[in-house]
Amino acid sequence: MNPSVIQVVAIAAYPVLVYSAVRWLEVGQAGLVLFALYAAILIVRGSRNRTQWGPLLRQHSGLLVLIAVATWRGDRRLLLLLPVLVNLYLLFTFGLTLVKGPPMIERFARMVEDDLPDFTHPYCRKVTLLWCIFFAANATLITILAYAAPLTWWTLYTGLLFYLVLAALQGTEFIFRKLWFRYYQQGWLDRLFARHFPPERTTNGRRSLAYQASRES
């Protein structure tokens, strides 16, 4: 099975499994299921590229240890903190690129545009900082829900509302980026933006036009 599919299943199933552990199952049973899911991710991904074993173990070691401790102690609340560790890991990863550079969003952008123009660099840094704030806020909120709110609230947020907030943040950033740089390509959505928000009307839009012309020449 594709490791990405296994990972999506594990993430999607986690809130339901934890809710079930509190309501109907023993903590140990839920812990073993989660442990098996994450072990499957490691085995499938690691078997395809043995050089990935080290990075994979470093990425998932904290999660596996937390599940093992929660299972051993029978502590339901510890299982609720797994998404917190994920957000803290992402916060550390994104934040480190702000110190050592280039920022994470710039690295993502270079996967699409290898010759990324200089005038986009400050924006990439600010968006990377925005994601750091999001991860920190999300970790804080999940911790509060884990210890000071009904389990149904935690399940609703981690199983549904988080993904809605994530989609809203990504969608808002996408629209803002299009309006800010007005860098359009050939897709129907870009043509729609170009019709209503012509690039030649803003400084960044004219920079984007010049950049496109330089690439085509």
Q: 216 vs 112, 120, 187, 192, 213, CA distance in Å?
A: 16, 19, 18, 22, 5
In a domain, 175, yes or no: no
Q: Give tens-digit pLDDT for 83-103.
A: 898 899 899 999 999 999 899
Q: Based on the domain organization, do 53 and 101 belong to the same domain?
A: no
pLDDT for residue 194: 94
Q: What is the pTM of this model?
A: 0.84
Phi, psi of 24 (to 5 degrees): -130, -30
Q: Based on the domain organization, do 57 and 97 belong to the same domain?
A: no
Average pLDDT, integer, range 36-57: 70
Q: Based on the domain organization, do 12 and 29 belong to the same domain?
A: yes
In which band, very low, low, confident or very high, does the pLDDT at 46 lie, cut at 50, 70 and 90?
Answer: low
In a domain, 29, yes or no: yes
In a domain, 176, yes or no: no
Q: Based on the domain organization, do 75 and 86 belong to the same domain?
A: no
